[in-house]
Chain A
Amino acid sequence: MTDPTKKPTPAGLQLDNVEIFQGPRKLLGMHAIIGPGEILTLMGASGSGKSTLISAIAGFLPRSFSCTGNILLNGQSITSLPAEKRRVGVLFQDPLLFPHFSVLQNILFALPPGGKMAERCDKARSLLHDISMGEFADRDPDTLSGGQKARVALARVIASRPNALLLDEPFSKLDADLRDSMRQLVSAEVTRRKIPTLLVTHDKADAIAIDGPVLTL
C-alpha cells in the first residue's frame, strides 16, 4: 500500500544538485534523473572530473574531494552510505578481473550471498552463458583476450544485481571491432534488466552508438 500523502518515489538514479569540489574549487555540478533501463551519456574531455563523479556516486570519493547535494537511488538517499551498501555497480576502463580467482569464481564472488553452492554455480554459469562465455568458466582470467575479459567484467557486475550501473570509459581500451559489439551487449543487458546507467566517455562514437540522452560537461 502506498502512502497517498507522499509523492510516488521516482525509480532510477537521481542526482540532486550534486556538486563536486577539489578543496575550494568547484569541479562540476550535475542535476539529472536516469530512469530504469536508461543510459545517460556524459561527455567531457579528460581532466573534466568525469571519473571523480563516478567515484562520488559509487562511494569512493578520495579525501581531497568533497561532494554536496544528494544522490538518490529508487528514491532512497545513498549519499552517506558506504560503497558496499549502495548497490551501485562500476565498470572501469580495465576489466580488473581478480587474478587469483577463476572466471567462474569471479562471478560467484559478485553474486549476492545466500543459496546453496550448486545453485550459485548454476546461476553464475547461466550468466556466463548469456554473454557467450559459458565454456570459459574454469579458465584463468589472465589467459582471456581483451574482449573476453570485458564481457566477464560485465557479467560480474550484472551478477551483483546492482540498482544502478556506472560505466567509466569501459570501451576505450578495446579494439575498434570489439568496441561495437560490446556497446550493443551492454546496452542490451542494461535495457533487459532495467538498470539506470551512467556512461562517462570522451568518445563521441560511444554516445552515438548508445543512442540515449547526452550531457556534455
Chain B
Amino acid sequence: MNAKSSPLAIVPALVLALLLIPIGVATLSLLGTALDWKGGWWSHSLEPLQSASGSFEAVLNTPGFWTSAGLSYWIGILTALISLTIVMLFIATFLSSGWFVWIWGIMKPVLAVPHAVAAFGLLFLIAPSGFLIRLVSPELSGFERPPDWLVVNDPAGLSLALGLILKEIPFLFFVTMAALPQTDFRRTRIAASMGYGRIWSWFLSVFPGVYLQIRLPVFAVIAFASSTIDVALILGPVAPPTLSVRILHWMNDPDLSMRTTAAAGAIIQVAITLLAVLTWWAGEYLVLNLGRMAALRGWRFKRDKFLRFLSSLLMATSVLVVSVGLVLLALWSFAGVWRFPDALPRVWTLRSWSAEASNLWATGVRATIIALGAATLSLALVLASLENEYRSNRRATRLAWWTIYVPLLVPQIAFVGGLSVLFIRFSIDGTLWAVILVHMIFTYPYIYLTLSDPWNTFDTRYLSVARSLGKSMNRAFWTIRLPILLRPVLAAFALGFAVSIAQYLPTLLIGAGRQPTLTTEAIALASGGNRRVIGTYALVQTLLPLIVFALANLVPKLLWANRAGLQVRSVE
C-alpha cells in the first residue's frame, strides 16, 4: 500500500495550520503585548504603554488578585472532580441496566444547551427571587419579599461551579460513552463474582482503562471551568470576580494602558489553568495508589447501595435542573408582569417575541449558516484525518492528541484577542468565511474527539472485503465505511454545530460587528438584564442545536429503519 502519493497526506499539515499557527502567533502577540516588545507587527503604531515588568506587577498588585486567581484554580478542579465523580458512579451503577440507554437518550439533548443558557436557567431557578422560593412563597415560607440569602454569586464560587457541573456532566458522559466500547467490562463481573461491591468492581476493573481514554477531555473540563467568562458573569462571585472576568474588565478598561495588564493577566490565567491541571495530575497518582492499596488489601466495599442511590439522584437532578431552567426561560419569554412572589407570570404577552422576531430570524439564519459551514468543513477535515490515519496505518500519537486539544486547553481569552489583530492585519476580518474559519478551530477538536473512537473501533475487515471484491479505497470509504458509521458521523456533526452556535468571543472579535449571530446578539441584549429578552434568545439558541441533534438521531433511524445491525443496542 503506497500512501505517499495520496492527496490525504497533506491533511495533518492542514490540521496543524488550522490549530497551531493561529494559536501560536496569537500567543506570541500576547507575550509581545505583555512584555512590550517594540517593533513587532502587533504594535504597529502603538507607543509602549507600560514597562514589561510593570504589567505583571500591576496584575499581582491588583487588590484581591490572589482571591481571583485562587477562585479560577478552585473552580477548575471542583467542577471536574464533581462532574467526573457523578458520571463515573452513575455509569458504574447502571451500565448493565436497561434504562441506561434511556437516560443516555435524555442526556444527549443537554449537550446542545449552551453554557450561558444553562447558567441563566439555574439563576432563574435558585436565586432568592427565583422560581423555587416563589413556589413556596408567601404561603409556606412567609416571604413577602425575597430572602436576603447569598445563594448565587457566592464568594466561594459554589453556584458558579454548580452551573458548570450541569453542563460538564453530559459532556463527560458523552466522551465516556465513546470510550466504553473499547473496554471489556465483563471484567466487572469477574470482580463482582469475587464479592466486590458493584461500584468498587467497576473502579478496580474498568475505570482505569476508561479514564486513560477520557483524561484529555477531563483536562479540557478543568481548563474550561477555570477560564470561563460567560458563566462566571452570570453566576460567579462579584467582589472579586474570577481571574478571567477580571481580564475581561482590564481588556475593556477605558484606560488603554490596562491592555498590557490584561495581556499579562491572560498569561497568568494560562499558568493558573496549567497549575490546576498539574494538581489534578498529582491527584491521579494519589487516587491510583490509594485504590491500589485498598485493592491489594482485598477490601470489598460491598455496601454501596447508598452511593448507587446518590449517583442516580444527582444525575437525575442535573438533567431536571437544566430542563426546568429551560422551561423558566420559556416562561420568561412570554411573561408580562411577573413579580415576586408570583410563581407564574400575572400577564402573558408575545411582546418579546414580536419585538425581536426579525432580528432573531436574521441572526439565527446567519448563525445557522456559520455553524453548518464550520461543522461541515471540520467534519470533512476530520474524516480526511481519520482516513489518512487508517490508510497510512498510523494512529494519532500522543503529541497529535495534545495538538488537537490545544484549542480546548488554552483559555480563549488568552489568544482570541491576538487572533483578531492577525485577521485585521490581513483584512479578512468581518467576513463570513473568517468567522467560519475561526469557529473551525473549536469545532475540529470536538468533532475529532467524538468521531475518532467509533472510527477506530470499526471492523476494517469490511473494507478488506470490499477491496477484495474489486472496489477501490475511495469507493470502500464512500459506500461502506461512511454509511455504516453514519450515526456517529452525524452525532459528531451535531456536536460541532452546537459548539459553533455557542461561540461568543471569536464571533465578536473576528466578525467585527458585520456578522452578528444569535449568540453575540443575545449577549449584547443580555447586558440589559431584561429576562424576557434573555429567555427569548436563550430558547432559540438552544432550539437550533437541538433540531440538528434530533435530525442527527432521526436520519440514520429512518434511513436504516430495516437494518437491525445499525441500530443502537444497549451496551452489553
Contacts and interface: CB of A to CB of B under 8 A. Distances in A.
Contacts of A84: 467-468, 470-473, 475
Contact of A63 (B393, B469, B472): B393
Contacts of A62: 393
B562 interface: yes
Interface stretch (A137-145, A177-185, A188-196): A137-145
A160 B464 contact: no
Interface stretch (B54-62, B248-256, B477-485): B477-485
Contacts of A99: 484, 563, 565-566
Interface in A74-120: 82-90, 92, 94, 96, 98-100, 102, 109-110, 112
A100 B461 contact: no
Contact of A96 (B459, B475, B483): B459
A94 B473 CA distance: 21
A73 to B, nearest CB: 13
A90 B393 CA distance: 21
B470 A100 contact: no
Contact of B565 (A89, A92, A112, A141): A141
Interface residues of A, number: 35
A60 B469 contact: no
A96 B564 contact: no
A90 B465 contact: yes
Contacts of A61: 1
Contacts of A86: 468
B423 interface: no
B468 A83 contact: yes
A167 B300 CA distance: 48
A58 B464 contact: yes
Given A82-B1, A99-B563, A109 B484 contact: no
A59 interface: yes
Interface in A44-63: 55, 58-63
A140 B562 contact: yes
A109 B564 contact: no
A16 to B, nearest CB: 21
Interface residues of B, number: 28
B470 A92 contact: no
B560 interface: yes
Contacts of A92: 461, 464-465
A33 interface: no
B301 interface: no
A142 B467 CA distance: 22
Interface in B366-403: 392-393
Interface in B539-572: 560, 562-566
Contacts of A143: 564
Q: Secondary structure at chain B's binding surface: helix, strand, loop or mixed?
A: helix
B468 A90 contact: yes
Contact of B1 (A63, A89, A102): A63
B104 interface: no
A100 B483 CA distance: 7
Given A99-B563, A99-B565, A140-B562, A59 B467 contact: yes
A96 B393 contact: no
A188 B9 CA distance: 45
A125 interface: no
Contact of A87 (B462, B465, B470, B473): B470
Contacts of B484: 98-100
A55 B484 CA distance: 23
Contacts of A157: 468-469
B469 A109 contact: yes
A159 to B, nearest CB: 8
B572 to A, nearest CB: 15
B484 to A, nearest CB: 6
Contact of A100 (B467, B473, B566): B566
B464 A90 contact: yes
Nearest to B2: A82
Nearest to B3: A63
A140 B563 contact: yes
Task: Give the residue among B462, B468, B560, B564 with the most A Cβ atoms within 10 A.
Answer: B468
Nearest to B556: A100
A207 B363 CA distance: 71
A143 B467 CA distance: 25
18 contacts: A58-B464, A58-B467, A60-B1, A60-B467, A63-B1, A82-B472, A82-B473, A84-B467, A84-B470, A86-B468, A94-B461, A99-B565, A99-B566, A102-B562, A110-B469, A140-B563, A142-B563, A156-B469
Given A100-B484, A160-B468, 13 more contacts: A59-B1, A82-B472, A84-B470, A84-B475, A89-B469, A92-B461, A96-B465, A98-B462, A98-B466, A100-B565, A143-B564, A156-B469, A157-B469
Query: Which 5 residue pairs of A and B lie closest in terms of their CB atoms, listed nearest first?
Result: A99-B565, A142-B565, A142-B564, A83-B467, A160-B469
